[in-house]
Structure 1
Amino acid sequence: MTTATIDSRSPAVPATRRSQLICCVLCMVLIANLQYGWTLFVNPISQAHGWSIASIQVAFSIFIALETWLTPIHGWIVDSLGGRRGAKLVVAVGGILVALGWIINAYAESLAMLYLGAVVGGTGGGAVYATCVGQAVKWFPDRRGLAVGLTAAGYGAGAALTVVPIRAVIDAAGYQAAFFWFGLVQGGLVFVLAWFLRAPDPDEMVGVAAPRVMQTTRSYTPRQALGTGVFWLLYIMFIMVSASGLMATAQIAPIAKDFNIGNVAILFGASALSVALVVDSICNGGARPLFGWISDQIGREYTMAIAFGLGGVAYWLLGTLGHAPWAFVLFAALIFLTWGEIFSLFPSTCTDTFGTKFATVNLSLLYTAKGASAFLVPIANLIKSASGGWHLVFVLTAIMNFAVVALALFVLKPLRQRFLSNG
């Protein structure tokens, strides 16, 4: 099975799709802190208001849920408005909501208001995320894993640029100031970049080279995709891997505190937590193009098996040996390295299977699995409280990753082969 690729005879097309990719990556960088910077705010919010960590993390769950569950609507709007208008309008509105969400957080004096900020920020973040990933799968059918990986890397690694500045602002002026100014600047820049986005015109995309991985020549509507076993298997696998990763990304600061290493200086005066957050963001972002590129070469399922198998080992190592500062940094980095690629592998697999015409909506429907998995994050705190430590949490996340390895190799691969052959 093959799909269309870029016509190398038209010099304008490579330049255009590179500029589109750059804009998408920058937009993703600018919204990364909504998720990956959140852990820096949890303890300061708790100290300022006396709210429990679990109640504050409900805001994180709301953010993740709306960032993901509303993406099919965002995708439908993008496709309905057309290639020239859809992407820019949806991302522009998303930028406004991103800024407004963090500004609300800055003034939140109740949990209800904090949750409102999560609703607004999650809606805006999802609009930006879904549109940018949709752009990547449409502009780069020949290198879909790599392109989606680079786009998602902006979201995974973007927080590395601002972890230290955000923490410095929190320490110097309070978490409210950090929410306000970073929200305003990041949302404003997304709004500006939005006006450069567009989808490819039909005559810009012609077939010249077949990809190495299985791809359909058809385009399945969202209703058709939802009626397949392949979609729901991908959905279940996405939930299992995403839940394990979200438990770590949302809890890194509390875990470091409980391990009594969060404020231990280990590198040029920087604490173990600060070093871990920077390295984690880099690994999380780098994993996406790395494993995306690998999947373009050897196939999606084999790449899933490699990544998630290593991920299972990483969770076990952090829970068992992560109480030393440098071990904490190393094993947390390995978790992020073997988790972030879900945001390149699953969208690429989805579009390979169901085609490009409805790609934004279809991959957005699959992305809602991240929202479902978010509600397992507070459960990690409950397991930790009941068991007296994080060890059981890490054992469970490791088992979930190993189970997905088995599903990828022995269920997903043959199921997709039959589906594509029949299509």
Structure 2
Amino acid sequence: MSTETDRDEDRNGDDGGGADRRAGYRNVTDGKGRVYRIGESDRDLLGHSRKLMVYLPWAAMMAISVSEYAYGSAEDTLSRAHGWSQSDTFWILSVWVFFQAGIAFPAGWLRERGVLTARWAMYLGSVLCLVGFVALAHVDSVALALCGFGVVGGLGSGLIYATCINMVGKWFPERRGAKTGFVNGGFAYGALPFIFLFNYAFDTSDYDEMLDLIGVYVLVVVAACAWFFRDPPPNWWPPHLAPPAGTPDGTPDGTPDGAAPVADRRSAASLAKNPPAVRQFTPKEALRSGMLPLMWLSVVLTAGVSIFGISFQVDYAREVGFGPLVAASSMGVMSVVNGVGRAVMGWLSDLWGRKTTLVFVIVVLGLAQFGVIWAGNVHSQWLFLVFAFLSGFGGGAFYPLFATLTPDYFGENYNATNYGLVYSGKLISGLFGGGLGSMVVGAWGYDGAYALAGGVSLVAAGCVLLLRQPGRERPRAAVAGERPASRELI
């Protein structure tokens, strides 16, 4: 490794104010030419521990989760209050998903060019979310609701979501699986109180005041968190941990010149199982590698199944004769397990390998769809809750895995844009998971729709099996008793 000593005179990534960032640093270059910036601690850059860049994004994600994960519990009241059909309410959610996912790429592009800082992306997103809830409360026109909640609210939630996910990944490049999973989990179980609120205390007499208050709640929480948001400098690496030295299999090979010794065994183990990208890939290079388009397709298929479950689980429970408690509890279970599963599988991916974990999660999601059919056909409430549990687990855990797999494959410097491209697959998923899903239910019934969803999920798992890290040589078969460098599926 070669090192270059320098002093930081810039304020790259600073959103204004805060700690003095004039700290000495070294640029360490590994055997493959990748640069790591070491020497500056998180306290040098932020004035406090980088753990705050986990808890604040998590709190903001908790706040915006009501928009997607509690919507299915509110749709009956909204239909009665505004005179909408079931198809109208599903298409409003589908448009919301389309724009929530679609803003990720342009927002990342603007952030990486310094046009939009992390802090102002959050501020703007919080205001747009408020507008979305006000529109949902006060307009009867389906077209205006599509524009207000679907377009404006979706853009606001997408800005917040993308900013939070990219923030935590940049501050924890050595162990991003567990941290990203924890933050991402808030986007699901944060909706739990609202799911029960919408099922038991949300009716045509008070729905508008309640939605207004929820919009204000989102605005206040997100804006308060945004005040502390700041990105690290490009290529930043925590000084307590030596960066990987660029060995052929991507595992650390000791402490390179100018780097600190490995002080965290968990971080070192994660790096060995999930070696960082061989270099920083621009979006064009990531696309040309073929791996980013394959990730995108996998997200389209998997997210479509997840959104289908979110949209129809409560209705299916009522269709087969389960009471409102089971219907609400099934969605509550899905929400909690969806969020907890994101955190748990993010943590496990640091141990198992990102790709292996992702395949496991998607297969579980697919099998759970067939289990839901079985539970409905035998009219077993406890089985229904079990498979709602598994569906929620699989339907959320894949999001942080794709969020961490993207910088693992393509690097951190362009991650806001690269992950924006990957995550944009969800905008297609929103169409066939919600709106088109309602058409399939109408044509084939719930059994046919859930069976199709299960099959689509298994196809997505097959796509993930084809993924491999660009520029990394495949581990070769062991010779003379030598063991492969990595056990991760490739």
1:152 aligns with 2:208: no
Aligned residue number for residue 357 of structure 2: 303
**Deviation of residue 11 (structure 1)?**
6.4
Aligned to 1:274: 328
SS in 2 for 1:260: coil
Number of aligned pairs?
408
Aligned to 1:266: none
Q: CA deviation at 1:310?
A: 1.6
Aligned residues of 2:169 and 2:404 also touching (Cα < 8 A): yes
Which among 186, 208, 213 is matched to residue 181 of structure 1?
A: 213
2:233 to 201, 211, 216: 201
Q: Which amino acid aligns with 1:79?
A: E
Deviations 1:314-336 (A, max 9, x none): 11010121333222222112101
TM-score for the superposition, normalised by structure 2: 0.78
Q: What does the per-residue CA deviation read over 1:288-319, in whole Å, with 9 as the maximum and x for residues that have no partner?
A: 11111111112122112211122222110101
The answer to whether the aligner puts 1:136 opposite 2:168 as a matched pair is yes
Whether the 8 Å contact between 1:170 and 1:177 is mirrored in structure 2 is: no
Deviation at 1:164, TM superposition (A): 2.1
Indicate whether 1:127 and 2:192 are aligned: no
Contact 1:28–1:132 (CA under 8 A) maintained in structure 2: yes
User: In structure 2, what is the Cα distance between the partners aligned to 1:396 and 1:214?
Assistant: 36
Q: Which residue of 1 aligns with 2:124?
A: 93
| 1:239-285 Cα deviation digits (max 9, x unpaired) | 1111011001012222122122142xxxxxxx112222222111000
In the alignment, which of 356, 366, 378 is matched to residue 422 of structure 2? Answer: 366
Partner Cα distance (1:159, 1:104) in 2: 20
Q: Which residue of 1 aligns with 2:288?
A: 227
Q: Which residue of the partner structure matches residue 378 of structure 1?
A: 435
Paired residue type of 2:383: A
Distance 2:470 2:158 in 1: 33
- Return the structure number with greater relative CO, CA threshold 8 A, min gap 6: 1
Counterpart for residue 268 of structure 1: none
Q: Are the counterparts in 1 of residues 81 and 204 from structure 2 also a CA contact under 8 Å? A: no
- Range moving further from structure 2, 40-49 or 22-31: 40-49
1:67 to 96, 100, 103: 100
What's 2:256 paired with?
Answer: none
CA–CA separation in structure 1 for the residues paired with 2:137 and 2:185: 27
Q: Following the alignment from structure 1 to structure 2, what is the Cα–Cα distance between the partners of residues 9 and 362?
A: 26
Q: Is residue 2:276 matched to residue 1:215?
A: yes
1:267 corresponds in structure 2 to: none
1:245–1:9 Cα change, 3 Å: closer
Cα separation, partners in 2 of 1:8 and 1:357, compared to 1, 3 Å: closer
Q: 1:176 and 1:26 mapped to 2: Cα distance?
A: 25
CA distance in 2, matches of 1:228, 1:262: 50
Q: Distance in 2 between matches of 1:6 and 1:61?
A: 44
Aligned CA RMSD, in angstroms, stands at 2.3
Q: 2:291·2:470 contact (CA, 8 Å) conserved in 1?
A: no
CA contact (8 A) 1:145 1:296 kept: yes
Say which structure is richer in helix.
1
User: How far apart in 2 are the matches of 1:3 and 1:378?
Assistant: 46
- Over 3 Å counting, the alpha-carbon distance change for 1:17 and 1:5 in structure 2 is farther
Quote the residue 2:309 is aligned against. 248
Aligned pairs (5 A) from 1:394-413: 394-409=450-465, 411-412=466-467
Equivalent position of 2:471 in the other structure: 419
Alpha carbons of 1:75 and 1:9: their partners in 2 closer, same or farther (altered >3 Å)? closer
Task: Indicate the residue corresponding to 1:239 in structure 2.
Answer: 300
1:351-408 deviations in Å (ceiling 9; x for gaps): 1111000111111111110111111022222222112x21111111111222222232
**Displacement of 1:161 after TM fit?**
3.2
Q: In 1, Cα distance between the equivalents of 2:380 and 2:279?
A: 52
In structure 1, runs of 5+ residues without a counterpart are 264-270
Q: State the one-letter code of the partner of 1:406.
A: G
Identity across aligned pairs (percent)?
A: 25
| Structure 1 residues 384 and 171: CA distance shift in structure 2, 3 A | same
CA 1:92–1:252 in 2, change beyond 3 Å: closer, same or farther? same
Structure 1 Cα separation of the partners of residues 337 and 36 of structure 2:
32
Q: 1:295 to 1:319 in 2, by over 3 A?
A: same
Of 165-174 and 194-203, the range deviating more from structure 2: 165-174
Structure 1 residue aligned with 2:483: none
TM-score (norm 1): 0.90
List gaps (5 residues or longer) in structure 2. Answer: 1-31, 243-261, 263-267, 475-490
Match of 1:316 in 2: 370
Please say if residues 74 and 198 of structure 2, whose CA atoms lie closer than 8 Å, have aligned partners that are also in contact.
no
Once residues 371 and 334 of structure 1 are traced to their aligned partners in structure 2, the CA distance between those partners, rounded to angstroms, is: 24
Give the drift of 1:172: 7.8
Give the structure 2 partner of residue 329 of structure 1: 385
Dislocated runs of 4+, deviation >6 Å: 5-14
Distance in 1, Cα, partners of 2:317 & 2:181: 29
Aligned mates of 2:198, 2:51 — CA distance in 1: 30
Deviation at residue 57 of structure 1 after TM alignment? 1.1
Distance, in Å, in 2 between the alignment partners of 1:38 and 1:5 is: 44
